[in-house]
Every structure is written in C-alpha cells, then in structure tokens.
Amino acid sequence: MDPMTPNFQNRDACVALVIEGTLGIGHAIAQELARDHRVIATCRSEQEAGKRRCDQAGAEIVQCDLALREDRLALIADLRARYARIHLLVNTTGNPPEERRDIVDITEESFDELVARNLKGPHFLDRMSVV
C-alpha cells in the first residue's frame, strides 16, 4: 500500500482530536493521523481551503472557538455522543489576537483574547476531554 494512502480499514478504533487542524502544523498532523485514525479537526471560523484539505485527508472539520466555554462544551458533548472515547488530543493552538499590535501598545481586551484562545481554552478543553 502507498504510504500516502489513508488506511480506512481500522480508522474508527482510534479517535484523534486535532485542535486548529486546518492550518499549518495542525493540518499536517491531521493529515498524517487520518491514515489510521478517525480525525476530528477544529477550526475557529469556516476556512474553505482548510476544509477541502481536511476532506481530502479524510478528516472531519468542526467549527469551535476554544475561547468560548459553550463551544468547548458542545464539542466534547458531540464527540462523546458519537464515539466511546477520544484516544488522542493534539493541541496546536498558537493564535495571535485579531488586532496585532506591538507588545507595549496591546489593549487589555486584545490581551484577554490572546490568553483565552491560547491558554484558557486549551486548558479547560484538555481537562474536559479526560474526564
């Protein structure tokens, strides 16, 4: 079998959740894992190019903003309803704030957004996914 061809025979045995799996390193990880895992890749907003790449790799894309508690709860509830467990959680978050500024000019709101997306959201998602 070609090493680049997904092996869909036993994919459902292991479920992998890849945070921000439609871009950059997250997408590369989702593609690799999709060979022999059921991969759910999250994205903050609908990204058509990332969705097409995930579809080609055999990964499912789910819109989820980790900064929002409701999104995290909905994601975990959905995955628990569909799968017995999440076997692998790959967190590739590293999102800049919407408004990029020099560190000395950053607003408190922008800083809060940065912390919520990259620290708070992933931390609480990690805790929810193992319970």
Q: For the segment 69-83, what is each residue's pLDDT rounded down to a tens digit?
A: 999 999 989 988 988
Q: For the segment 73-131, what is each residue's pLDDT rounded down to a tens digit?
A: 999 899 889 887 888 889 887 777 777 778 788 889 888 888 888 889 888 888 876 54
**Inter-residue contact 17 to 43 (CB < 8 Å):** no
pLDDT reading at 2 higher than 60? no
Strand spans (E) along the chain: 15-19, 38-43, 60-63, 88-91
- The 10 Å Cβ neighbour count of residue 71 is 18
**Whole-prediction pTM:** 0.77
What φ, ψ does residue 64 adopt, rounded to 5°?
Answer: -160, 125
